[in-house]
Amino acid sequence: MTIDWTAFTPWSALAGGAMIGLASALLLLLNGRIAGISGILGGLISRTPGETGWRAAFTIGLLIGPTLWALFNVLPAIRIEAGYPMLIAAGLLVGLGTRYGSGCTSGHGVCGLSRLSPRSLAATLIFMAGGFATVFVVRHLLGV
């Protein structure tokens, strides 16, 4: 392992993280809900009665973020290397996996760890390990 210090952006990562933490705190203290994106989207799909409004509003907020940003500044780079078959396979795995495992980086990672849940800690360690292992296999064993 070597550390890529030229790409290291600690301050923007911390600042963006603090905003994510603040947004999760707002949703919890005002709406009483956990800011788990996979749960919010999954709930939109299964259309739980009386739950659609706030879920749609949160999702629209996520979608509008880049447009609001672009009014004031150039959007940061979004570079997507994966090809279409890979994107579709990855999307299916992420969609199915986050619902089956009841959470993703936001629900288990940010909110679960913020409330010191052992279940979310386990989930976070497992999906992090899965991500590390997959990139290792794809980049260093298969050399894609």
Q: Which of 49, 71, 74, 127 binds other proteins (CB under 8 A)?
A: 127
- Rounded to 5°, the CA angle 82-87-92 comes to 150
Q: Which of 49, 101, 142, 143 binds other proteins (CB under 8 A)?
A: 101
Query: Closest by alpha carbon to 44, among 89, 16, 33, 24?
Result: 33
Query: Taking the chain, what is the end-to-end CA distance rounded to the nearest angstrom?
Result: 18
Q: Which of 7, 71, 74, 142 binds other proteins (CB under 8 A)?
A: 7
Q: Which of 30, 71, 74, 142 binds other proteins (CB under 8 A)?
A: 30
Q: Mark 45-84 with x for binding to other proteins (rule: CB under 8 A) and - for no binding.
A: xx------xxx-xxxxxxxxxxxxx-----xxxxxxxx-x
Greatest CA span in the chain, whole angstroms?
Answer: 51
